[in-house]
Every structure is written in structure tokens, then in C-alpha cells.
Amino acid sequence: MRDDRDPPATGAPVVLQVDRLTTVFDLGGREAPAVRSVSFVIRAGETLALVGESGSGKSVTALSLLRLIHPPGRITGGSVLWKGQDLVRLDERRLHQIRGREIALVLQDPGTALNPVFTIGDQIIETLLAHGVAQRPAARARMLELLDLVRIQDPKRRAADYPHQLSGGLRQRAMIALALAGDPALLIADEPTTGLDATTQSKIVDLLRDLVGHHNLSLLLISHDLAVVGACADRVAVMYAGQIIEEGPARAVLHTPGHPYTRGLLASVPGSAPGIPLSGIEGSPPRLCELVPGCAFAPRCPERLEICETVMPEPWMVGTERITRCHLHDPAQLVPAAATDANRADPLP
């Protein structure tokens, strides 16, 4: 979707490959599947955005990638391949080395993620030392470089500030600097612009675009803000009730959506989709412990067919790059996603 630089080539190496990842929560004897057989890949230098309403499974997916799900939640199936290693089954010691060092997470609320009793500078220095990126004599200089990298003015002065002394935008920048301290190859940003004013949101978006474009990063962006997604993403995966129901190039998904839910999501945001009249999606998302046998969106879908209520739709390839999980697409003219390798690639060795 970004027009300021070329998207990663389709032949770029895959850095993360997620295959049929499933995470459930035990709720008083009932299982609530928060992530249901989710699959996607992220290539080097690429930004993939996970989009959907609150409760669709975006954040749980991100936490599952790093095995940060705690009881009553648990990962029950699938794989997460990172440089040939399955993070779902990797021993805790090796996984601890990957978290923060190779894959970093920017949490949704920097106000609670940052330690209130330590200065911003001390927290970044401690992270540099913990990951072995720099020794103490050089750690302070590297900390100041990171604050400058995320465009915090007067980094020497700001390094001495505590989190409560910073504005929301500066806290978010500090959180990004903290995540970059391990020099990761993949950054996971969970709602990085939530709660910020429009001007500050724009600056954070520009920062993320610059980091990906010029600092050899891949980005998994989690957001419900379609304007942010349109400005940042190369590819978009739309989630509903724990499933990816549409995935493809950002321009195709956001301008010519193929799934009724994606169309409804775009129509509910002013100006997000030219030519689509503003409207809302009737009804509410389903309770995950009471999912119907068929399509989870069927009770709310204005285009539903009889089969939608009883049979789970398969993911179908639309063209060569887009996947849509919907019965409305004629199987006679499409190829099942499982039958093609167009959306798959071997991970890095």
C-alpha cells in the first residue's frame, strides 16, 4: 500500500512462517479458541498487518508467536518457524535468547510496559547488557543512539526522565527504542498508535516506515486502525473470531475486498474505501466458546448463503496472491489454497 518505496520482492527470504497455529483458553470446562488454525508468512523487509475488531485474536496471535500465553490459555497446535526452528516446541532457554534479541515486541500500552521506577535510559542500558549487544562502557552511547534513532529530541536529557514524565508519544518512542535494543530482525508492534492524537499517530507511523525501509527490519503490525495499516503495510491479514478470513497485498485487500466482513469493516470507517458508502456491521462478534459449525461471520453477513451456517468455508486462492475464506467465491473457478505453494515459502535455514 505504501507508495514511497518498492515492496519486498515476492522472492525475498521468509523470516517467519506460521502454520495452523491454534490457541485456546479454558473457561470453566469450556474451551474458547482465540486463535484458530492461523497461517501466514513474513518476508525480509516486509510489513504484514493483522487487522480486525477487538477480540478477533490479533494480540493473542502475537503473544502466541513468542509463546507468551499463560494459563488458562495454551497453544494446542500448529508451528511457528523462525530460521528453521519451531518456536512452539523450542526449549525455554533457546526461546528466551530469541525473545527481544531476534524478535522484539512493542506492547500496546507503554505506560504499563515501561518500569515506572527506572529512567528511560537505564531501562534501555539494562536491555543492551542483558542481550549482550553492548558492554557497559559502550552501552550508554548506544542507548543515546537508539533514542536519537526513534526521533526523541535532546536524548541526553530525556534519558534521565522517568516514564511518567513523558508524553504518550514519547513513551511509545521510548518503548520502540527499548525493543530495538536487541537489534532484532522482526518487530511485533501491538496497536502502537492507540490512544495517541492524530499528529502523534502520524509521526509514529512515519517512524515505523523508516525503520522497516532503512534498517533491515520486518514488521508485524497489529491494528484496528485502517488508516495506519494503509500507510504502513505491504500485506494485510484480516482476522475474525480467531481466523484469518482474508489475506493479500494491502492495496488489493483495502481497495477491492473480497470477503463480506472486510467490506463491512472498511465501510464502517469514513474515507477508508473510496466508493463504499459509510455503514456499520449489524450484530456483535460471536462468543468464542459458542461458535457455530459454519462461518463465524454468517449470523452478521448480509450476503450469507444457506451453506454458510453449517459448513466452514475453506480458504480459496483469488488470483495468485490473495486468500479469502468465503463460500461466495465459486470453487469451480478458484484453486484451494492448500493445493498451491503460491502463498508459502521455505523459511531461512
Q: Is residue 304 part of a domain?
A: yes
**Total structural domains in the chain?**
1
CB 236 within 8 A of CB 255: no
Q: Is residue 268 part of a domain?
A: yes
Please give the pLDDT value at position 247. 97
Q: Is residue 7 part of a domain?
A: no
SS3 (DSSP) at 175: helix
**Element at 80 (helix H, strand E):** strand 73-82
CB 253 within 8 A of CB 238: yes
Q: At what angle do helices 136-149 and 120-130 cross, to 10 degrees?
A: 120
Nearest 5°: phi and psi at 327?
A: -70, -15
Q: Is residue 133 part of a domain?
A: no
Q: Is residue 114 part of a domain?
A: no
Question: CA geometry: angle at 83 spanning 79 and 87, to 5°?
Answer: 35
Q: Is residue 5 part of a domain?
A: no
Please give the pLDDT value at position 7. 54
DSSP assignment of 304-330 equals: --GGGGTSPPPEEEETTTEEEE-TTS-
Q: Is residue 284 part of a domain?
A: yes
Instruction: Report d(CA 121, CA 146) in Å as an integer.
Output: 10
Q: For residue 273, what is the domain's CATH number?
A: 3.40.50.300
Measured distance between the N- and C-terminal CA atoms of the chain, rounded to whole angstroms: 29
Please give the pLDDT value at position 8. 58
* Structural domain boundaries enclosing 284: 14-102+184-339
Query: What type of residue sits at position 165?
Result: Q
> Nearest Cα to 158, choosing from 146, 142, 147, 169?
147
Question: CA geometry: angle at 283 spanning 281 and 288, to 5°?
Answer: 110
**Element at 64 (helix H, strand E):** helix 58-65
DSSP assignment of 82-128 equals: ETTEETTTS-HHHHHHHBTTTEEEE-S-HHHHS-TTS-HHHHHHHHH
Q: Is residue 195 part of a domain?
A: yes
User: Is the Cα torsion angle 85, 90, 91, 92 positive or negative in sign?
Assistant: positive
Please give the pLDDT value at position 239. 98
- What grid cell was written down for 291? 461458535
Nearest 5°: phi and psi at 332?
A: -65, -20
Nearest 5°: phi and psi at 302?
A: -75, -10
CB 324 within 8 A of CB 258: yes
**pLDDT, one tens digit for every residue, the chain (349 residues):** 555 545 555 678 999 999 999 999 998 888 999 999 999 999 999 999 999 999 999 999 999 999 999 999 999 999 999 999 999 999 999 999 999 999 999 988 888 889 999 999 999 999 999 998 889 889 999 999 999 999 999 999 999 999 999 999 999 999 999 999 999 999 999 999 888 888 999 999 999 999 998 888 999 999 988 889 999 999 999 999 999 999 999 999 999 899 999 999 998 887 665 666 778 888 899 988 888 899 999 999 999 999 999 999 988 888 788 999 999 875 543 445 554 444 433 333 3
CB 157 within 8 A of CB 187: no
